[in-house]
Structures are given as C-alpha cells and as structure tokens.
C-alpha cells in the first residue's frame, strides 16, 4: 500500500512538472490559475529598453479657492520597503495593479488633510542612462543627457475610487508610432459595428485605433495613444 502511494506521489509530481513544461513550451493556459506560477519556469522572460518607476502623489482639497497641496504617498513616512536593493517596493509593481492600494495604505496610517485626488505616475527613461557616469562616457563618448518621461497611470478620488486609468507609457509611445500610419488608421475605422456587444471594449489593445474622444480638453494625440484606455 505504502509503495503504491509512493508510486502515486512520484508519477503525480513528475506529471505536474511535465504539464508545466509542455504548457509553457506550447503556451497553453500558462495563466489559467495561480498554481501555474509554481510549474512554469519563465525566469527572465521579458525585457524592456526603458526603466520604469512609479510615484504616488496625493493632492489635498484647497481652502477658499486656493489650489491644494501635493504630498508624497509612496514611500510612507515610516520608511520605505526596499525588497531587493536600492529601489522601493512600489517600483516592482510591474502591472501597476497594486500601486493605488499602496497609496491608500499610506493615507490610512497617517494624519493628513482630506485628499481631492490621488495620482499614480509612471516615470520612464532609456536604460542606457542607468550606467554609472564613468562607464557611460566610455561606452557612448558623451555626457549623459537624461530626460525623465512622466505618464499618469491612475487618477483616484480621496476615497480611492478610480476616476481615470491609462496604459503603460511604452504602450502610449508605441501607439504614437502606429498612429503615424494613415492607411492603417483608415483601415481600422472600416466595418464599424452597429451594436457594441464586446465585453472587452475598454481594453488597451483597442485603444490605439478607437475614435478620438470628443471630450473637451483632451488632445487628439492623447486619445489616439490610449489616453482613455483601461489596461
């Protein structure tokens, strides 16, 4: 009996590991369940030529028509969690799923004026500027001229309700590149549905090609580039 149980454990365990490898190899249901994280070995699967960081900013309600003040909501005033080195925990939120929660946690444990808006801002720059100055000069033969790009990912109200959500800065830049092609944009406008039954209508993948918003104050480039998209 014990031997059969052991057989079962061995075959079961190897079967599960084998399923993970095959699933990963043919890209079949690799994200179907959190358990897949334990059997899919996709270490170092992605790369980007740009570094990305997240900043959490709170804006207070201004008094008597005065503009509000801005406060840092990440890191919390009690100190920053630096899990793997020099940068704070919020910067590891690659999908920007939890940054609003981190901002709300900061508000929950501090004394502050009422907040009007909470912003989650993505900062990006080419990774070549991460090189130390000496190595950078040797590689590129020039001084660094780093420019940091900012991109608002979330706007929330004081209670943490999402008012606006945008895709990655890189998606925005990519959309700009695509929108430079008039033929492609014209093609995307053909064959419009009369009924909108798609549950995915707000997905970012659609955003680069949807009709520019007629909302006042929104620049066409922004809407073309996924400015209103939900990621």
- Give the strand pairing for 115-126 and 149-157: antiparallel
| Nearest CA among 119, 121, 117 for reference residue 62 | 117
Out of 15, 61, 62, 127, point to the residue binding other proteins (CB under 8 A): 127
Least spacing, CB of residue 42 vs other proteins, in Å: 5
| Contact flags string 171-210 toward other proteins, x per CB under 8 A | -xxx-xx--x------------------------------
The Cβ of residue 89 has, within 10 Å, a number of other Cβ atoms equal to: 16
Nearer to other proteins among residue 31 and residue 196 (C-beta): 31
14 sits near other proteins (criterion: CB under 8 A): yes
Q: Locate 30 and state its tokens.
A: 């690799």
Q: Which of residues 84-123 bind other proteins (CB under 8 A)?
A: 84-87, 89-93, 95, 97-98, 101-102, 104-106, 109-112, 119, 121
CA distance 83 to 126: 23
CA distance 85 to 87: 6
Burial of 214 (0-12, 13-18, 19+ CB in 10 A): exposed
Q: Which of residues 25-84 bind other proteins (CB under 8 A)?
A: 25, 27, 31-34, 36-38, 40-45, 47-51, 55, 57-58, 69-73, 76-78, 81, 83-84
Nearer to other proteins among residue 130 and residue 205 (C-beta): 130
213 sits near other proteins (criterion: CB under 8 A): no
Burial of 41 (0-12, 13-18, 19+ CB in 10 A): exposed
150 sits near other proteins (criterion: CB under 8 A): yes
């Amino acid at each position: 009996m014990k031997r059969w149980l052991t057989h079962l454990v061995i075959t079961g365990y190897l079967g599960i590991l084998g399923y993970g490898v095959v699933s990963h190899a043919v890209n079949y249901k690799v994200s179907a369940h959190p358990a897949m994280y334990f059997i899919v070995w996709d270490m170092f699967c992605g790369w980007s030529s740009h570094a990305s960081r997240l900043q959490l900013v709170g804006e207070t309600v201004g008094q008597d028509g005065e503009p509000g003040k801005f406060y840092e909501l990440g890191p919390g005033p009690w100190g920053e969690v630096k899990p793997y080195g020099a940068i704070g925990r919020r910067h590891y939120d690659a999908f920007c799923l939890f940054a609003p929660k981190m901002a709300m946690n900061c508000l929950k444990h501090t004394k502050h004026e009422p907040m009007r808006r909470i912003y989650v801002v993505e900062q990006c720059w080419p990774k070549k500027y991460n090189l130390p100055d000496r190595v950078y000069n040797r590689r590129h033969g020039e001084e660094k001229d780093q420019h940091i790009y900012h991109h608002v990912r979330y706007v929330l109200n004081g209670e943490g309700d999402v008012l606006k959500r945008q895709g990655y800065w890189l998606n925005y830049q990519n959309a700009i590149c695509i929108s430079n092609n008039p033929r492609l944009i014209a093609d995307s406008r053909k064959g419009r549905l009369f009924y909108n039954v798609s549950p995915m209508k707000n997905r970012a993948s659609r955003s680069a090609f949807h009709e520019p918003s007629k909302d006042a104050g929104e620049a066409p480039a922004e809407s073309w580039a996924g400015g209103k998209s939900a990621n």
